[in-house]
Amino acid sequence: MNGMTCGHLAAGRAQRFAILCANVALLVAVPAFAADDQPASGTKKSVEVILYPILVEAPIFGATIDLPSLPSGGGSGGEGDAQSASTDVSLNSAYMAGVAIQADRWFVEARGVWAALAATRQTPRVSLDTDTRLFNARGGVRLLGGLAATGGFRRVAVTLDAKLTLPLLNREISGTATPVYWDPLVGLDWRQRMGRWVLDANFQGGGFGVGADVDLSAEVHANWRLIPHTEIRLGYTVLYYKLTVADVSIGAFQRTLVSSQSLHGPIVGFGFVF
């Protein structure tokens, strides 16, 4: 219980830090918002609001599980020794929805993701099931042309169920954890309008040990304005994060679990432009 209390306190501090980073990023965007809100040459610059009611992703999921050795491990291949295993990659599905507000010099956006992910490997036997819920929010200010600096946060909530077979003992151990992390993020964003097409790409990095150990993502999109007020989005996304979860009951012991997970795959969806 003490481990759980400390985890909650650390999660609270991480949450406050991540929200502070997001607020700073949005405050940076306020002057740009005010400038764009002023009429130029008698014409007010346009601001777009885009609602994405559904985005579907087909991610390829893979993971590595590390269990550091316990002080009493003894090096005999027992349950208390260090264990490590990687899954094969597996095709899964993910569902998203979001909103974006864009002007010439600034933008803000938020998006939620839900994915039930699973991957296994037969030799040595390892399986990992995760119910993953992500919420991203970020804002950016245009620096030069279509390039913008961004800041924000990602909330990572995972129900993680891991099973690992110990080869020397021919015994399966398992553990379940439900970590929640708030990751501060910084990055770059680029977008360009070309007739009916809007092209964009972004990279974000964070975690910094405040939330997850590492949190990296990159996306590219081609958005087709097929008819007025409607957008079809096609793209590809990559996400990698590394989590360290302390005091997880695995087999007969409480120990630290380190999970490195990667997702990458195409995205397709549609949006309404106002």
What DSSP letter does each residue of 146-172 carry, written as one string? Answer: TEEEEEEEEEEEEEEEEEEEETTTTEE
What percent of the chain is predicted at pLDDT more than 70? Answer: 81
pLDDT digits (tens, 9 = 90+) for 110-131: 999 999 999 999 877 899 999 9
pLDDT of residue 169: 74
How far is residue 260's CA from residue 130's CA, in Å, rounded to a whole number? 12
Please, which residues have CB within 8 angstroms of residue 101's CB and are 6 or more apart in sequence?
Answer: 47, 48, 49, 50, 107, 108, 109
- ∠ CA 76-248-158, rounded to 5°: 130
pLDDT score recorded for residue 268: 97
Give phi and psi for 169, each to the nearest 5.
-95, -10
**Are 161 and 176 spatial neighbours (Cβ–Cβ below 8 Å)?**
yes
Length of the chain: 274
> What number is the average pLDDT over the span 16-44?
44
Coil, helix or strand at residue 27: helix
Mean pLDDT of 10-21: 49
Q: What is the pLDDT of residues 120-170, one digit of tens each?
A: 998 778 999 999 999 999 999 999 989 999 999 999 999 999 999 887 777
What token pair was written down for 220?
Answer: 């590219």
Residues in contact with 214: Cβ distance below 8 Å, sequence separation at least 6, in sequence order: 207, 240, 241, 242
Phi then psi for residue 115, to 5 deg, are: -150, 130
Q: What is the mean pLDDT of residues 222-237?
A: 95
Mean pLDDT of 237-263: 93
**Type of residue at 203:** F
pTM of the shown model = 0.80
**Cα(267)–Cα(154) distance, rounded to whole angstroms?**
19
Averaged pLDDT, 196-213: 96
More confident residue, 74 or 137: 137
- The 10s digit of each residue's pLDDT in 84-98 is 889 999 999 999 999
